[in-house]
Amino acid sequence: MFVDTVVEDKALHKPAFLIGLSVAVLAFFFAFNFTNTIFGEFLSPVIGNPEESGLFGRFVVSFVLSVIFVLNLLAISFARLKIQILIVWFELFLLFLAFAYSFDLKLSFIQSRIGLMISKGLFTTIYISAVSIVIATAIAIVGAIAKLSNNGFAYAIASFYTSLFRGLPLLLQVYLIYKGLPQLGFMVDAIPSGIAALSLCYGAYMTEIFRAGIQSIPKGQWEASRALGFKSGLILRKIILPQSIPIIVPPTGNQFIAMLKDSSLVSVLGIWELMYLAKTLGQRDFRHMEMLLTAAMIYWGLTIILEMIQARIERKYQQKT
């Protein structure tokens, strides 16, 4: 981020801001009555029975909560930036865990099925996403070059393709390919149908990303290469594409992450991927939240790994330029 040379005082260390914040937090906790929760029970020595404590109890509970909240913020504000980030992440994660805990989950149930979720569900999800990513990237390179060419046919076909596949919901494409192709005599099973739909849809988005990346290289680069006697194919491969890759990488990484999660749409075809198993495994025992939350954590973990890989690739290309 942009680093300013003028360092201002932290807002939290200004008394006016601190008081304003405290009042706002107090009002928030007072508005959402927390008296009948675990906090009310905890403060029962002061306010007596939480149910009968009335406005006084409600005020005491919200006052204590807001003091804890503001003190926590103040304490964090004195730490170094990296430590601050770590602590805030950790605290938000704890809040998420508390949210999950409130569902009264049965951990032994998750334990008995997580093996299957990973060995079958996660494997299929990664398999489908990985194959789709490779095909989509290939489509995108061809599509971008076609969209930039002077050939009327190539441009028309590529722009029709991007327009159509960006214009239809992915779920609709999944159904069209799965149900439509057999009517034409091409019997395509569920997994190839799903891969085809994901590749075509994301290929269309990535075509536009690649095209924009190539176009963002100044015209002077083309002209200079021409002046040195390069042919256009060679210019694209050796001069333009290497320069556009740092521009293409961040949005492409976003597409990969989005595709990983959109691969859950192929569960409608009965493919045993992560989302499908999350929906079905809890069914016999009517424990749906357990499996859904487990799948949520697996998707999240996968996304974090992809984000880290993306950051690494970005750093690599930044060093080069």
Partner 1 sequence: MSIKLGFKKSSIAITALLLSIGMTAKAGVVYDYIKNNNELMIATDANWAPFSYINDAGEMEGFDVDVAREIAKRMGVEARFITPAWDVITSGNWNMRWDVSVGSMTPTASRSEVLNFPAVYYYTPAAFAVHTDSPVTTLAGLNGKNVCTTAASTWEMYLQGNLDMLDAPAFTYKVTPGTITSLVDGSACLDDTRLGAGVRNDAVIDSVPMLQNAIDSGYPIKFLGDNAFYEPLSIATDKGNNDPELDAEIARIIAEMQKDYTLTTLSMKWFKNADGSSNDYTVAY
Minimum distance of partner 1 from residue 17's CB (angstroms): 42
For 150, 170, 222, 315, the CA distances from 318, given in Å and listed in that order, are 32, 34, 22, 5
Dist. CA 60–CA 36, nearest whole Å: 13
Residue with tokens 């939480």: 50
Contact 269, 193 (CB under 8 A): yes
The answer to whether residue 127 forms part of the interface with partner 1 (CB under 8 A) is: yes
The answer to whether residue 107 forms part of the interface with partner 1 (CB under 8 A) is: no
Of 20, 48, 54, 270, which lies in the binding site for partner 1, with binding defined by CB under 8 A? 270
Minimum distance of partner 1 from residue 185's CB (angstroms): 5
The answer to whether residue 271 forms part of the interface with partner 1 (CB under 8 A) is: yes
**Nearest residue (CB) to partner 1, 133 versus 248:** 133
Dist. CA 311–CA 304, nearest whole Å: 11
Dist. CA 124–CA 113, nearest whole Å: 16
Residue with tokens 């290929």: 203
Minimum distance of partner 1 from residue 174's CB (angstroms): 12
The answer to whether residue 112 forms part of the interface with partner 1 (CB under 8 A) is: yes
Dist. CA 103–CA 289, nearest whole Å: 7
**Nearest residue (CB) to partner 1, 18 versus 188:** 188
The answer to whether residue 272 forms part of the interface with partner 1 (CB under 8 A) is: yes
Dist. CA 58–CA 116, nearest whole Å: 47
**Nearest residue (CB) to partner 1, 124 versus 207:** 124
Angle at 181 between CA 178 and CA 184, to 5 degrees: 155
**Nearest residue (CB) to partner 1, 65 versus 298:** 298
Of 192, 246, 250, 251, which lies in the binding site for partner 1, with binding defined by CB under 8 A? 192
Query: Contacts with partner 1 in 45-104 (CB under 8 A)?
Result: none
Q: Which residues bind partner 1 (CB under 8 A)?
A: 112-113, 116, 119-120, 124, 127, 179, 182-183, 185-192, 268-272, 276-277, 279-281, 283-286, 288
